[in-house]
Structure 1
């Protein structure tokens, strides 16, 4: 522990060693058990199936989902996953590896920005805060776009901030990295890769009146670099698919933000509890960081605190005002908050133990209370997802972390409390996530039934899905799924070209079911009785999982 304390306390400028230690630490945190957890519905299944189809067809321009055009997202994650599949095979580890690597890269970038702005210890603290935040530890393990987006947008804003530091010798490099990362952000999620960083930067320039930044931003070389990286895919996909532009830019951007067309409406305050839970336990210290930011507002223009505040505030308010909300949308603000918190903890690290112990005591108490609740969980819930042993281990880790934090408060410096809280958060996040994911996520996956369908199907067999579409089912079955009474987000693709053979209603499906053609069908258990009454050939069950049955007609 003394060695650990010296590592934190040292102000030696050895970034390569720090980066290596952070990289090793978070590789150990994120990489284990990735291969054991089945791909979850719907996002993980979708973002594995699209690159699988890319590899199968050789078309890396037009995305397809269940073999129909799918233009809801740009291709960056698809390309990364396709490359991972090519190297490591079609499996869960390969599907999640790009997201994990980006999550680790985001931690290293946060260290670099924090260290460059406020010194080595602030950089270390910022990286540890980001990497041990509950939401970051969870999201970084899953095959979803939001982590890629968060890291690319964080790099965009971080490099801009570093480039604008007075006297920065590497300003040209940072500005060009800013444009390159902005292009990657657009390729990850679309126009918000320009809109959100642009909003932060414009507001920053207006408030600080640093008009000279407009002349320093390397516009003449940066904009061509941005276009060179971002534009080719948009041009190619538009040339091959004239219907792309209207769907992607109007439907997926303006209608998503301004209307409830996607059915994801939540109240304006939705992201307040999301932020509190996602940044736990560090979210409890955000009010102190905000107070400190206000007290030092006169210096904010010089050291980037104002920029970090705008980074977090603009993105938070933008998505709060949107009519379409999902939990991961505000994750791009996490690096900015981590740096603000890291700078605060670093500045106070050499001070005596805090007299204002209210928040640290609250955090420690919450660890203990949550631990007791987790331990009692299987005894209080009729059908618990965690067993008694798993709950006891998970609960004990929480209680131990809370106890360690209470003990740290009795030591002589704030540094001891920060160190203990970081270790406790990382342990809870890593071990707890492993237990919860391994024990409970299998019910949200189509892996078992998809593999069973694949094993029982030959080339002439039709694999179908009735009144539902589980996107991971396509991935694990390894082929196109015929959909009955179901289009959902494939509605747009179903209207491109002649897809009539693959989207059927009851009137067209049951003659196929009652024919000599073998059909393997995924159906929900609650829909099965009504389905069975409509058939001439009685269904034979092949398997079942949670809410679903896999049946066949022959």
Structure 2
């Protein structure tokens, strides 16, 4: 196999050829076996079920989840998935395709941005760093709103600096690209699509004292373009649903950020270990990549490094301050950090290896320890999460990658270090999910019970779930009656008469003992109670470690 660094350092400067090679290389990684595993509750099935219901109803404006109003997110991913379902059918591959393509697009644009700011080699290294980041690869292959947000925000923020970096020659085309993709970012995840880029741009202008950029940004026509793209859906959904404005803008933005109403509170430092773990193997080089960005802002390339640092730091701090936190929220910082890390390795390839030595040694020895621990863990744990063969395979990859990193650091070999980290990360991405993902499938996938219901249940049957299980709706293709808590569709459950679909214990037992066939997803601990209190003895059709699918027939 050819060393990736040999390709990076070639004198050939063909942009089109670079993009084609990167698209083929990472296209395989992002798209291979995309539909192999079932969708995971709650996020993946939620963002598949909403567009499925949109297509079923022929309404692409008002989002419904389990056939009740659901206003927590804007519409971009729903539309992308609806298009994918139309082209490829309603299946796992189609449900994940849009996000995988957005992940691939983020890698390719990172190449373009890195090349424009620092040259071809940094551009290629940027793409390899981001595309070789295990956490970014895995999350981009999941059906999450944060992936389209990351792509659109990356293009928006990147377009701004490409337009503004040359004070003597502003590039208006990139400004308009900024407004377009900022609008798409708003459609991807709401006001943060413009608030966060706006904060980064403000601090860039303020710290560089380049206030004339405000005159160059084509603000009047740019705002018109932004509103022309972002506003129509919000206007139409508000017209059809008067409750949308208050719930989406007040409850889902201000209350989510300022309060703990969503029960996703984590401490301020929550994203530090998340970033370190999800951006492996490159996370150990983040401090060195950020070092000196302010002090060196006036040297060649210094303003671009300052901007990328502001991009990463402001977004990271914003989500750290928020009272609602999930691991995928900080994905938009990855492209900026990838380019900064690429600049660090570019300097090492030019002979300055010193900033890499300590983090490479620390990273390498940590991987050696993790590799040994991964091999031992299944043999000594009482109920291990992975089988011994899985621990052996994953541990071996980590051990070899760690030893290679230590050796490269001692030899001060940036080519060997980069190549070993990249290939080890890609190999880990290809191998580890086959041992780890089945655990999530067993606990958080409802494909099998949903397909059982779809096969056995007639039109008069009722599907009931103890708590919201969104995969049941998606895989059965029908509405689910809920008892034991409304979950995240509490808002929709209060709009209109939903009494037939949100049940208390008494009404569920009455339905269970009635004349209609009932298929119920219940917690395992509830089975004795149902057997005792229900007249019809429950027949088990499917079971997992947490649930039973039972029927009264």
TM over 0.5: yes
SS of the residue corresponding to residue 464 of structure 2 reads: strand
The structural deviation recorded for 1:353 is 5.4
The match for 1:309 is: 309
Q: For the structure 1 residues 129 and 153, does the alpha-carbon distance in structure 2 shift closer, same or farther, using more than 3 Å as the test?
A: same
Q: For the structure 1 residues 110 and 434, does the alpha-carbon distance in structure 2 shift closer, same or farther, using more than 3 Å as the test?
A: farther
1:46-445 equivalence runs, <5 A: 46-166=46-166, 171-299=171-299, 303-351=303-351, 354=354, 357-409=357-409, 413-438=413-438, 440-445=440-445
Q: For the structure 1 residues 353 and 198, does the alpha-carbon distance in structure 2 shift closer, same or farther, using more than 3 Å as the test?
A: closer
TM-score, length basis structure 2: 0.96
d(CA) in 2 for partners of 1:463 and 1:3? 55
1:541-552 equivalence runs, <5 A: 541-552=540-551
The structural deviation recorded for 1:410 is 5.6
The structural deviation recorded for 1:10 is 2.0
d(CA) in 1 for partners of 2:38 and 2:411? 44
Contact 1:350-1:415 at 8 Å conserved across structures: no
The C-alpha deviation readout for 1:317-349, integer Å capped at 9, x for no partner, is 111111111111111111111111111211221
The match for 1:469 is: 468
d(CA) in 2 for partners of 1:188 and 1:340? 26
Q: Does 1:502 align with 2:508?
A: no
Contact 2:348-2:356 at 8 Å conserved across structures: no
The structural deviation recorded for 1:279 is 1.6
d(CA) in 1 for partners of 2:2 and 2:43? 44
Contact 1:159-1:174 at 8 Å conserved across structures: yes
- For the aligned residue pairs, the C-alpha RMSD in angstroms reads 1.9
d(CA) in 2 for partners of 1:5 and 1:175? 33
Contact 1:134-1:278 at 8 Å conserved across structures: yes
Contact 2:297-2:303 at 8 Å conserved across structures: no
Q: Does 1:19 align with 2:30?
A: no
The match for 2:483 is: 484
Bigger mean CA deviation after superposition, 28-37 or 355-364: 355-364
The structural deviation recorded for 1:444 is 1.6
The C-alpha deviation readout for 1:403-451, integer Å capped at 9, x for no partner, is 3333434656423322222222222222223432246534321111111
Contact 2:259-2:323 at 8 Å conserved across structures: yes
Q: For the structure 1 residues 84 and 2, does the alpha-carbon distance in structure 2 shift closer, same or farther, using more than 3 Å as the test?
A: closer
SS of the residue corresponding to residue 55 of structure 2 reads: helix
The structural deviation recorded for 1:374 is 1.8
d(CA) in 2 for partners of 1:271 and 1:4? 31
The match for 2:539 is: 540
Q: For the structure 1 residues 249 and 412, does the alpha-carbon distance in structure 2 shift closer, same or farther, using more than 3 Å as the test?
A: closer
SS of the residue corresponding to residue 383 of structure 1 reads: coil
Q: Runs of 5+ in structure 2 lacking a partner?
A: none
SS of the residue corresponding to residue 351 of structure 1 reads: coil
Contact 1:409-1:417 at 8 Å conserved across structures: yes
Contact 2:26-2:131 at 8 Å conserved across structures: yes
Q: Runs of 5+ in structure 1 lacking a partner?
A: none
SS of the residue corresponding to residue 144 of structure 1 reads: coil
Q: For the structure 1 residues 38 and 442, does the alpha-carbon distance in structure 2 shift closer, same or farther, using more than 3 Å as the test?
A: farther
Number of residue equivalences? 553
The C-alpha deviation readout for 1:454-513, integer Å capped at 9, x for no partner, is 1110001011112x1111111011100011132121111011111111111122222221
TM-score, length basis structure 1: 0.96
